[in-house]
Structure 1
C-alpha cells in the first residue's frame, strides 16, 4: 500500500487530480442538461423547468437554475460577494490540501471533494452568464438537475414535497463535509500543518479513506 507521505511521481497531486476529475464530471453533466454550442458541436439540452423520471418519481432529472448557494440556498450579500467568497474559499482549500500531503488520506480525500464542489459551482457563477450570453461575468446561475422526492414536509409555514434540486458539485461538498466531521480527530493542528510533521499525533498510523 502506498504510504500517506509518498511523494514520488504523481503521488503528491493525486487528490488534486481527483478534484479536477470531479469538476470535469460536474461540468459535463451540467452542459448535457443545459446544452451548448462549441467548436461546431451543438447539443440542445433541456429547457428550463423540464423534468423526466429516472427512478419513477423518487428521483427525477429536473433542470432548474440557482442564483444562490448549494441546494438553492439564497445569499443576501449579492452574487459578486458570493463569487468572491467562493474564490477565497477555493484558494484556501487548495493551500490546505497541499499542506495536508503528509497527513491522513481520508482527510485529504474529504477536502478534495469540498474543493471540487466549490470550484464546480464557481465556474457556473463566473462564466456561464457570459458563455450563454445571459448575464455579465460573475453573474451566472448554477445549473441543478437532480430532484429527490421526500415525504411532504411542512416547515416554517412552507410545504416541501422534494429535496432541493442539486448537482454533482453540491453532492461533493455535502459528502466532503460529512467526512470531515467524521474524521475531525484526524485533522492536523495548525502547528503540525506549518511543520509538516506527524509528530505529536496518531497519524503515524495513516489509513485510507475506507478505514
Structure 2
C-alpha cells in the first residue's frame, strides 16, 4: 500500500470511530436505558445494551471472551486489508469502515462491558434487532466487499496492468 492510501484509510477509520462514539455518548446522555423515541412508524431510537455481539449472539462468552473474539476478528480483517492491492479502492473503503465499526464496538466492550445500541427497526409483524452505527459500518462494509469482490472486480482481475499495480 502507498502512503496516501494508508493515510486515507486511517482517516476513514478515525471518522467511523469518532462518529460511532459521539452518537453513543449522546444516546447515553439523553435517553434513559430502555426508553424509545419513535421517529417513523417503523423506526425508533431505543437505548439498549448488547452484552453479546451482532444480534446479541455469544452473550454467554463474557466480556473478556467477547473482547478477545472481537480482537481476533479485527486482526484477521487488518491482515486482509494489508494484503489487498492498492487499486482495489472500494475494497479498501469497505475494510476501513469495517475496522472503524469494530473498533467502535470494541471500545464499548472493553470500557463498559457491553455495547450501546440505539437503532430499532420494527413493524407490527416484524421486530428487528437493535443495533448502532458501528454495526451499520460493519454490515455496509461487508456488503461493499462482496459487491467489489464478486461483481465489480471480476473484470479487473483479467487486466494485467492492474493486477500488480500499487499506483494511484
The TM-score by the shorter chain falls in which range? 0.7 to 0.9
1:193 aligned residue: none
Q: 1:150 aligns with which of 123, 133, 157?
A: 123
2:143 aligned residue: 178
Q: 1:25 aligns with which of 6, 16, 19?
A: 19
Query: CA separation of 1:75/1:49 partners in 2, compared to 1, >3 Å: closer, same or farther?
Result: closer
Q: Is the aligned partner of 1:51 residue 2:51?
A: no
Give how far 1:125 is off. Answer: 0.4
The whole-number CA distance in structure 2 between the counterparts of 1:104 and 1:33 is 36
Give how far 1:148 is off. Answer: 0.9
Q: Is the contact between residue 81 and residue 95 of structure 2 (CA under 8 Å) also seen in structure 1?
A: yes
Greater relative contact order (CA < 8 Å, ≥ 6 in sequence):
2
Query: CA separation of 1:203/1:82 partners in 2, compared to 1, >3 Å: closer, same or farther?
Result: farther
Query: Over alpha carbons, which structure has the higher Rg?
Result: 1
Q: Which has the higher helix share?
A: 2
Give how far 1:101 is off. Answer: 4.9
1:15 aligned residue: 9
Q: Provide Cα deviations, 1:60-106, integer angstroms capped at 9, x if missing partner.
A: 11101010002333344333111111112223323332332524111
Query: CA separation of 1:92/1:203 partners in 2, compared to 1, >3 Å: closer, same or farther?
Result: farther
Q: Runs ≥4 in structure 1, deviation > 6 angstroms? A: none
Q: 1:63 aligns with which of 35, 47, 57?
A: 47
Q: 1:121 aligns with which of 98, 102, 105?
A: 105
Unpaired runs of 5+ residues, structure 1, are 36-44, 129-139, 153-160, 188-197, 207-211
Q: 1:84 aligns with which of 46, 64, 68?
A: 68
1:74 aligned residue: 58
Instruction: Give the TM-score of the pair, scaled to structure 2.
Output: 0.82
Q: Is the aligned partner of 1:95 residue 2:74?
A: no
Q: How does 1:128-167 map to 2 (within 5 A)?
A: 128=112, 140-152=113-125, 161-167=126-132
Q: Provide Cα deviations, 1:33-64, integer angstroms capped at 9, x if missing partner.
A: 112xxxxxxxxx21111101122x22111101
The whole-number CA distance in structure 2 between the counterparts of 1:96 and 1:107 is 10
Query: CA separation of 1:150/1:21 partners in 2, compared to 1, >3 Å: closer, same or farther?
Result: same
